[in-house]
A and B are shown apart, each in its own frame.
Chain A
């Protein structure tokens, strides 16, 4: 078994696609109409086009808002992406107007930061320590 796709709920799929591609730098993989207004919309990392897809899923279900509001209030991220340099990404994204709820924080071998994806989610970026990124 392998992890092929994971998802985040987004308030607005068109806006989410812009943020995840133009700001974060992912690329669109699938964009298929589903029903009248929704899309099966996934993005992947350009560094790993065949890798895990992120589904930008419509947040229409009534349970989504209370769930996300409660997690947002406590600053809890809903997804984590790996970057090679958290501080460089923090500087780059801050320059593009992205709002961080946690500035880069070094904790032993791991550095993390948390930002708002403008679509209702907090996202954590983290460095992958050498010993964790290579399972061999």
Chain B
């Protein structure tokens, strides 16, 4: 599971997809492709985007839902908690512990 997560995050295009889904949830494949090509000037095929989405879905970062004939993609940031739980920020030392 952790391997899937880190692999998913290791690619800049996949991080851009997550950025766009954070801006607007519930996007069709067409909208994601439009954003990548028009906003980010990424020359990537629809199949390529589908493959990136499959990697993100395997990592649990993207979830899909069908509504009638349409399929929408949503961001799920819950798996990212694994990172902060594994490497928690050091607790700030209280003033009483600081050397005088």
Q: A34 at the A/B interface (Cβ < 8 Å)? A: no
Known: A101-B70, A107-B34. A75 touches B39 (CB 8 A): no
Residue of A nearest to B38 (CB): A107
A125 shortest CB reach to chain B, Å: 13
Q: A72 at the A/B interface (Cβ < 8 Å)? A: yes
Please state if B69 and A108 are interface contacts (CB–CB under 8 Å).
Answer: no
Chain B residues near A105: list those with CB within 8 A. 24, 31, 34-35
Partner of B35, one of A73, A101, A107, A114: A107
B98 shortest CB reach to chain A, Å: 50
Please state if A107 and B39 are interface contacts (CB–CB under 8 Å).
Answer: yes
Q: A93 at the A/B interface (Cβ < 8 Å)? A: no
Report the bound CA distance from A110 to B34 in whole Å.
Answer: 11
Please state if A114 and B39 are interface contacts (CB–CB under 8 Å).
Answer: no
B63 shortest CB reach to chain A, Å: 16
Chain B residues near A69: list those with CB within 8 A. 69
Number of interface residues of A (CB under 8 A): 17
Please state if A102 and B31 are interface contacts (CB–CB under 8 Å).
Answer: yes
Please state if A74 and B29 are interface contacts (CB–CB under 8 Å).
Answer: yes
Report the bound CA distance from A74 to B35 in whole Å.
Answer: 14
B34 shortest CB reach to chain A, Å: 7
> Could you give, for residues 77-106 of chain A, a 1 whenever the CB lies within 8 Å of some chain B CB and a 0 otherwise?
100000000000000000000000111010
A residues with CB within 8 A of B? 69, 72-77, 101-103, 105, 107-108, 110, 112, 114, 122
B residues with CB within 8 A of A? 24, 27-31, 34-35, 38-39, 46, 66, 69-72
